[in-house]
Each structure stands twice: as structure tokens, then as C-alpha cells.
Amino acid sequence: MEEHEDDGIRGVWTRGADPKELVLSDGSRLVLEPGLTGDGEVAWRRTDGRDATEGEVSVPEALDLAGEHYQGYVAVRTRAEAAWLRAISEWCRIEASRLEGGLAAAV
């Protein structure tokens, strides 16, 4: 993992009505967004708004970048996204069963 403490980059404030971005001390932003990678994975990303500098970071790297004051923010956003994915997964399972039941009744 890249060491960020030495270069002083740390979270300074959250951005958005529902805080979805953590602005870092160097002006870049840390964002958790689903489907940014080609394979549809959920990933933390660090960006300063330019495509050339955008990059995926691991959860441990996101925690490190956030700094002590904002590590809780990263942890809560990560847990919330995991819970949302589980809820969607359960809904999809129920809907698939419903469709299969309808098909079985019709055939």
C-alpha cells in the first residue's frame, strides 16, 4: 500500500447533500462508486477531476487516505454499499423465484 502519511494527504471535508465524496487535503476526491471498472465492480476511486489522474484504491488505501478523522466515513460508506448489494441480491433472488414459479404454473 502506498504511504500517504508522509505526504500529508488527508480527508478534510465531505461533499454532497448525501456525503458521497471525501475531499482530500490535496484537492482530490475519494468516492465509492459501483460499476466504475469494466467488470462492474464497486470500487473506491481517487480523482481530481481529470481522467489521467483517476485511479482505483483499495479499502485499506481509502482508510489511510481518509486519515484518522474520516476513517469512520470510509468504513460506514463501505458497509452501506455492501448492505445495499446484499439487499439487491435478495430482491433479485425473490424475483427470479417468482418468475420461475409463474413459468412452472403455465407449462
Task: Report the C-alpha gap between 58 and 100 in whole angstroms.
Answer: 38
pLDDT at 61: 92
Whether 2 maps to a domain, the answer reads no
> Is 3 part of any domain?
no
**Contact predicate 1/58, CB 8 Å:** yes
What pLDDT does 2 receive? Answer: 47
Would you say residue 54 lies in a domain? yes
Cβ-based neighbour number of residue 4 at 10 Å: 18
pLDDT: which is higher, 73 or 13: 73
pLDDT digits (tens, 9 = 90+) for 2-49: 445 546 777 776 766 667 788 888 888 888 887 655 566 788 988 876
The whole-number average pLDDT for the span 61-71 is 92
Number of domains in the chain: 1
Where in the sequence is the domain holding 31, given as residue range(s)?
11-106
Instruction: Residue 82: count other Cβ atoms within 10 Å of its Cβ.
Output: 11
